[in-house]
Amino acid sequence: MPQKTSLAIRTLGPYGGSAPGYRLTSFLIDGESALDAGALTDALPLSAQRRIRRVILTHAHFDHIASLPLLIENLYGQAQPLEIIAPMPVLSVLSRDLFNERVWPDFRKIPSKKRPTVRLKPIAENKPFRAGRVVFTPFAVSHIVPAYGYVVSRPGRSVLFSGDTEPTDRLWAAAARTRHLKAIFLELSFSDSQLDVARAPRHLTPSLVVDALSEMPPRVPVYLYHMKPPSLARIRREIAAACQPRLKLIEGERSFRF
Ligand SMILES: [Zn+2]
Ligand SMILES: [Zn+2]
């Protein structure tokens, strides 16, 4: 029997690119909070989309928000607005560049300002906030645009999501100070043969992940996601050659209970 306080996480989309069978980055936490929105409307039937109360974003890159406009449209007419939650540098990009009446309508005013379909909710770095039964704590990471990882907690258990990032002390520090850390979900985008490609936008490759292992709390499993589909075969070989049993690639939809 799952415990009442357990943390349920589904990896709806573990990829940093899109093709049939490869869904963009999206996690579902406790059934009602989405972390990133790359492929929510591909992965979930309408009934499950309607259960989503909030979308928490790591950053505003397209592979993390692609399904957000479509989700919002599907939720039109609901009594409660969908909350989009992130630190202000992420939300301001959405306001300016997405919900600008040119790329997509501004559903903060639709059907009316009093009864909007969506609400943007800024949060502060390093300050825990409660979302349903789960507590999220954002921390800044190091990517080419403002980006955040999250520690996600329920009593006695926590997991950490890195968001898109290069190696950064901020990530190791967040892992080190998290009590009851059960798993780390760590981005891994390109193969080692693409190290130069990975460096400019600030992403990880297998050798950078292996180098970072000693910085992370021992024995905590590290689940790797955000692979670019064209790089996946090489990444798989490089991770296998690293012979690190803690490292596990997430290659499809999976349900975890911590
Ligand atoms: Zn990404
Ligand atoms: Zn990114």
Residue 3 has pLDDT above 70, yes or no: no
Ligand showing the shortest atom-to-Cα distance for residue 188 = 1
Q: Give the pair of three-digit tokens for residue 21.
A: 């069978």
| Distance between Cα 16 and ligand 1 center (Å) | 5
Instruction: Provide the 10 A C-beta neighbour count for residue 217.
Output: 12
Q: What is the pLDDT of residue 198?
A: 85
Cα of 165 from ligand 2 centre, angstroms? 8
Instruction: Give the pLDDT of residue 250.
Output: 98
Place of tokens 């963009």: 24
Cα(226) to centroid of ligand 2, in Å? 9
Q: What does the pLDDT read at residue 4?
A: 72
Q: Is the pLDDT of residue 1 over 60?
A: no
- CA 72 to centroid of ligand 2, rounded, Å: 22
pLDDT tens across 125-167, in order?
Answer: 999 999 999 999 999 999 999 999 999 999 999 999 999 999 9
Q: Which ligand places an atom closest to the C-alpha of 17?
A: 1
Q: What's the CA-to-centroid distance between 102 and ligand 1, angstroms?
A: 23
Q: Which ligand is nearest to the CA of 63?
A: 1
Q: Measure 82 CA to ligand 2 centroid, in angstroms.
A: 23
The reported pLDDT for the residue numbered 2 is: 53
Please give the average per-residue pLDDT across 158-185, as a whole number.
97
Which ligand sits nearest to residue 145's alpha carbon? 2
Mean pLDDT of 3-31: 94
Residue 49 Cα to ligand 1 middle (Å) = 22
What ligand has the least distance to the C-alpha of 228? 1
State the SS3 of the chain: CCCCCCCEEEEEECECCCECCECECEEEECCCEEECCCCHHHHCCHHHHHHCCEEECCCCCHHHHCCHHHHHHHCCCCCCCEEEEEEHHHHHHHHHHCCCCCCCCCCCCCECCCCECEEEEEECCCCCEEECCEEEEEEECCCCCCCEEEEEEECCEEEEECCCCCCCHHHHHHHHHCCCEEEEEEECCCCHHHHHHHHCCCCCCHHHHHHHHHHCCCCCCEEEECECHHHHHHHHHHHHHHCCCCEEECCCCEEEEC
Q: Per-residue pLDDT tens for 34-86?
A: 999 999 999 999 999 999 999 999 999 999 999 999 999 999 999 999 999 99
